[in-house]
Amino acid sequence: MEKRGMMKRFLAESLKELMLQKSFEKITIKQICDKTGVIRATFYNYFEDKYAALSYIIYLDTVETALPYIEKRQFLQAVKAMLDNFVENREFYQIAFRITGQNSFEDLFEENVQQLFTEMFRRYGRPEKLGTMSEEELAGYFGNSLCYTVNHWLCRSRGMDSETFLKQYGSVVTSSIFDFLDMPQGGGNGA
């Protein structure tokens, strides 16, 4: 890896470590730089602010992790690789999902996952199935879904391993809402 890319990762890792020690809101750029052993100007060479550094952490654990599998058309393996990152860093993600407000962690997470799904639909999308939905709209739907389920899984379903989660998520994602309901698909009055 080139030196520039390594420094960006070091800064992001420093933020990640600090988030395990104190609340994100109380972490300063100076603290990130002190932990990394660089001056503030170095931080700003890579990131606009600490939210951009947080988004980069998500990018590494989602997009960068999944793309090699996506390139081979291995969607479930891509999701599994991301889930393994989340399990390995469960405490960090549990803390991060508590960041709310204008730059919420959920929003940053969704942006990164949507970027990944948009790329998938661009490469492998079936236009005849998309109908009037754009690749971005469909990516938004699935990105929102993955964000919600990962948040719920990491923060509430403590005992579930990534394999079980993947089976559940895969089952839901590949199903229609009507697969879960005892009602006709036509939406009529049942007559």
Please state the domain extents for the chain.
1-47, 50-176
What average pLDDT is seen over the chain?
89
Q: How far apart are the first and last CA of the chain?
A: 65
Q: Which of 100, 76, 21, 11 lies closest to 50, judged by CA?
A: 11
pLDDT for position 132: 84
Q: What is the pLDDT of residues 111-167, one digit of tens each?
A: 999 999 998 888 888 888 878 888 899 899 989 988 998 888 888 876 778 888 888
pLDDT for position 191: 47
Q: CA 101, 106, 112, 115: dihedral to nearest 10 degrees?
A: -100
Region 1-47: CATH code: 1.10.10
Residues 6 or more apart in contact with residue 162 via CB below 8 angstroms: 80, 83, 84, 86, 87
Q: Which residues of the chain have pLDDT under 50?
A: 191
The one-letter code for the residue type at 78 is: A
pLDDT for position 186: 64
